[in-house]
Amino acid sequence: MTLRARIALLTTGLLLVALLVLGVVLHGLLGNFLLGSLKRDLVEASAQVVRLLNLGGQALLEAGLPADLYAEIQLVLEEDPALLAREGGISLQRSPALGAHRLLLSQEAYRALLDRGEVWTEVALPREGPPLVLLVYGRKVEVRVGGTPWKGLLLVGRPVEGVRATLAQFARLYAATALLVLLLVFLLLRPLLARALEPLEWVAAKARTLVGPEGALPRRIEPLPEPLVQDEVGSLVRALNGMLLRLQKALEAQVRFLQDASHELRTPLTAILGHVGYLLRRTPLTEAQRESLEVVKREAERMGKLVSDLLELSQTGSWRLEPAPLRLLDLLEEAQEEFSKSFEGEIRVEASPDLWVLGDRDRLHQVFANLLSNALKAGAKTVWLRAFGVEGRVVVRVEDDGEGIPEEHLPHLFERFYRVDKARDRARGGSGLGLAIVKAILEAHGGEIWVESEVGKGTAFSFTLPSAAPPPPPP
């Protein structure tokens, strides 16, 4: 999961929890408020009834109370909650809202009322459909019947339907609003997060371009431009730049070491070769001595080649290419001519004369020389040098019918010092640096190289070069 998706999910989740908590709290507060005012209402109504009773009037409930108040006055002759719950006290008066119904409390409610003098409870009045639920306030009162005071109970109730409906309506509205808010936040969050995380992706993209194809580090590592804001991205870039600087230093030290070592090795090698040459040419030698000196000479020459290859490779990246439009056919024929002398087989050139490439003549010659000498070393009888243009580029193929390369070696062929058969290739005078140099040269030209091969059939190296327009003819 991407960081962006995770942040979006987390934020939306947190918001959901916050909205839920807020909803529950608001629902509770609203419920309390509504029930509270209903209770105040009932207490007031009961006080009014008591006032009317004290006035001593008889038909008071009909006259003095709001029509939608459910109220009943019950006379209690025997304080037995079970009996009361079954039959109620003797009903003295009932408000019109009750109609034929009676307000009968539960046994516990009657007991509490008788014990404590007042009670809050709920009563369900039967009617069509679901029963009507009333919130009922009961209190003890004194009623006078024929001048004698009796113990009575006053019950007043109001439907809680309204409160419940209001609460349900609130819950529905709140849920809808919360969902809308969530959706909006989720939709807005994505582009906002994308904007916020843009610098990170930019850093990643920059870091990716630093590392060349196949993870090869370029010679020069440029530090990333530091963002102006002092935020996390800024400190990431600074940390990355510190690392890059150290990497660059290590790289430079490595190149310097390689160059120094190659230079230092050259001097003794030249001396060895000079003296061996002198001994071989100018001094009387026994056959055994001559043979030994020939070996010394051959090995010193090979080492000389190795050293110059190393030097060459260490300079990749600092090469000064001098690209110019070159007729590819000329390059191929030049290589053909040079190698035909040292080769019994045949080198065939197949390329159109109007293929032009943009390249450095000497470096490209080095490429052909390396590929051709590899083909010869592989025992090729025929080598084909072919070229054709494709989409603004020129593809060159060097094909041979030599021994071929086993498949498992193909991915490593362009690595430094990689040889298919160490002992055999060493004996053939190889260092394993040739193809690494070829690849570096071609990449410096903006091209790429790949290989196909089959054991026993032959090998084909193909590479691309940028094509060029032919230079204008001289006036």
Ligand X SMILES: Nc1ncnc2c1ncn2[C@@H]1O[C@H](COP(=O)(O)OP(=O)(O)O)[C@@H](O)[C@H]1O
Nearest to ligand X of 269, 279 (CB atom) = 269
Task: Decide: is 459 part of the binding site for Mg ion (CB under 5 A).
Answer: no
Query: Pick from ligand X, Mg ion, none: which does 160 bind, CB < 5 to 8 A by kind?
Result: none
- Figure out which of the listed residues 103, 300, 378, 387 binds ligand X, where binding follows CB under 6 A: 378
- Figure out which of the listed residues 105, 413, 442, 468 binds ligand X, where binding follows CB under 6 A: 413
Q: Is 32 helix (H, G, I), strand (E, B) or coil?
A: helix
Nearest to Mg ion of 72, 309 (CB atom) = 309
Q: How far apart are CA 385 and CA 372, in angstroms?
A: 9
Task: Decide: is 434 part of the binding site for ligand X (CB under 6 A).
Answer: yes
Q: How far apart are CA 217 and CA 199, in angstroms?
A: 23
User: From the CB of 329, what's the least distance to Mg ion, in Å?
Assistant: 24
Query: Pick from Mg ion, ligand X, none: which does 431 bind, CB < 5 to 8 A by kind?
Result: ligand X
Q: How far apart are CA 471 and CA 193, in angstroms?
A: 53
Q: How far apart are CA 97 and CA 70, in angstroms?
A: 6
* One-letter amino acid for residue 109 of the chain: A
Task: Decide: is 316 part of the binding site for ligand X (CB under 6 A).
Answer: no
- Figure out which of the listed residues 74, 93, 121, 431 binds ligand X, where binding follows CB under 6 A: 431
Q: Helices 361-377 and 434-444 sit at what angle, rounded to 10 degrees?
A: 150
Burial classification of residue 127, based on how many CB atoms lie within 10 Å of its CB (0-12 exposed, 13-18 middle, 19 or more buried): exposed
Q: How far apart are CA 170 and CA 179, in angstroms?
A: 14
Distances in whole angstroms, Cα of residue 274 to Cα of each of 147, 241, 278, 279, 294? 151, 49, 6, 9, 13
- Figure out which of the listed residues 81, 152, 402, 434 binds Mg ion, where binding follows CB under 5 A: 434
User: From the CB of 388, what's the least distance to ligand X, in Å?
Assistant: 20
Residue with CB nearest ligand X? 430
The first and second tokens of residue 49, run together, are 């009834």
Three-point CA angle 98, 104, 110, nearest 5°? 140
Residue 316 neighbours by CB under 8 Å, 6+ apart: 219, 437, 440, 441, 444
Task: Decide: is 402 part of the binding site for Mg ion (CB under 5 A).
Answer: no
Query: Pick from ligand X, Mg ion, none: which does 425 bind, CB < 5 to 8 A by kind?
Result: ligand X
- Please report, as residue ranges, which positions from 283 to 312 form the binding site for ligand X (by CB under 6 A): none
Task: Decide: is 375 part of the binding site for ligand X (CB under 6 A).
Answer: yes
Task: Decide: is 405 part of the binding site for ligand X (CB under 6 A).
Answer: yes
- Please report, as residue ranges, which positions from 14 to 73 form the binding site for ligand X (by CB under 6 A): none
Task: Decide: is 425 part of the binding site for ligand X (CB under 6 A).
Answer: yes
Residue with CB nearest Mg ion? 434
Burial classification of residue 260, based on how many CB atoms lie within 10 Å of its CB (0-12 exposed, 13-18 middle, 19 or more buried): exposed
Task: Decide: is 400 part of the binding site for ligand X (CB under 6 A).
Answer: yes
Residue 306 neighbours by CB under 8 Å, 6+ apart: 431, 433
- Candidates 11-19, 163-171, 239-247, 433-441: pick the segment binding ligand X (CB under 6 A): 433-441
Task: Decide: is 432 part of the binding site for ligand X (CB under 6 A).
Answer: yes
- Candidates 56-64, 138-146, 369-377, 461-469: pick the segment binding Mg ion (CB under 5 A): 369-377
Burial classification of residue 440, based on how many CB atoms lie within 10 Å of its CB (0-12 exposed, 13-18 middle, 19 or more buried): buried
Helices and strands of the chain, counted as H and E runs? 11, 12
Query: Pick from Mg ion, ligand X, none: which does 307 bind, CB < 5 to 8 A by kind?
Result: none
User: From the CB of 241, what's the least distance to ligand X, in Å?
Assistant: 36
User: From the CB of 397, what's the least distance to ligand X, in Å?
Assistant: 12
- Candidates 174-182, 195-203, 228-236, 398-406: pick the segment binding ligand X (CB under 6 A): 398-406
Task: Decide: is 402 part of the binding site for ligand X (CB under 6 A).
Answer: yes
What are the φ/ψ torsions at residue 350 (nearest 5 degrees)? -130, 100
β-pairing, 346-350 vs 382-390, is parallel
Distances in whole angstroms, Cα of residue 246 to Cα of each of 206, 223, 239, 240? 17, 11, 11, 10
- Figure out which of the listed residues 74, 374, 459, 464 binds Mg ion, where binding follows CB under 5 A: 374
Query: Pick from ligand X, Mg ion, none: which does 186 bind, CB < 5 to 8 A by kind?
Result: none
Nearest to ligand X of 1, 423 (CB atom) = 423
Query: Pick from Mg ion, ligand X, none: which does 301 bind, CB < 5 to 8 A by kind?
Result: none
Task: Decide: is 336 part of the binding site for ligand X (CB under 6 A).
Answer: no
Neighbours of 191 (CB within 10 A): 9
Task: Decide: is 152 part of the binding site for ligand X (CB under 6 A).
Answer: no
442, 463 Cβ separation under 8 angstroms: yes
Give me the residues that bind Mg ion (CB under 5 A), please: 374, 434
Give me the residues that bind ligand X (CB under 6 A), please: 370, 374-375, 378, 400, 402-403, 405, 413, 418-420, 425, 430-435, 459
